[in-house]
Structures are given as structure tokens and as C-alpha cells.
Amino acid sequence: MRTAKAVELLNALSHESRLRIFRMLVVAGPQGLSVGSIRARAKIPAATLTAQLNLLRAADLVLDERDGRTIRVRANFERMTALVDFLTENCCRDPAMCAPTVCAPATPSKPQSKPTSKRSSR
């Protein structure tokens, strides 16, 4: 992948709503989600969703498929993999250097305890 293409893809993902939509589609897997389902889950207006999906489509990060009257949207896993490969190609020349970090499942973070305000007794 060329740097200009990587910049285009990263730019398409650089908005909170678009990134959330894309991640939602990645979780949904190859079957994708209907536009209505995406809208309900993302809790954004239809016009906004259309605009966000159009930007993801333009970057070829999502693919559409008509299913009767329903449009199903799915993540373009081939494009996503190419971007991840581009981002990690230099560090992964030595698999010991980053493969465990890149490939390891995320560990859930522990909830942080709220700081308590204790007054000094001095």
C-alpha cells in the first residue's frame, strides 16, 4: 500500500462516528449490518449516517449489498488488513519485536477507583 492511500484510509477513520461505525461493522463480521441497524446502534440521524457511510465507501473501507429493500453494509476486511499490514510492516520485520503486542487479544482494563478526598487532620 502506498503512503497516500494509507493517509486516505486513516483520514476516513479519523472521525469518532465513522470509526465507531467501522468498528461496529468489523464486529458484525462478513454478514455486515443493515443501514437501519447501524443507525439504531450508532444513534445518529439518517442524513448524518449517510454522509459518514459515503466517506467510508469513498475510501473503500465498507462495501454495500442490496438485500431486497434493505442495504447491508460490511467492513472491507481486505482493505482493513492491507492498512494494518502497512502500519506494522516496519516493526514486524522482527516478529519478536511487535507480534505479541499487535496480535495479542486486548486485556480488559481494570476500572479505576475514584479518588477520595480526605482532609488532613493536622
Write down the pTM of the prediction: 0.73
Domains in the chain: ranges and CATH: 3-79 (1.10.10.10)
* pLDDT of the chain, 122 residues: tens digit per residue: 898 999 999 999 999 999 999 999 999 999 999 999 999 999 999 999 999 999 999 999 999 999 899 999 999 999 999 999 888 877 756 666 665 555 444 555 555 544 444 444 44
Q: Starting at the edge strand that comes first in sequence, how are the strands of the sheet with 62-67 ordered?
A: 33-34, 70-75, 62-67
CA separation for the pair 120, 73 (Å, rounded): 58
Instruction: Provide the CA 86 distance to its chain's centre, in angstroms.
Output: 16
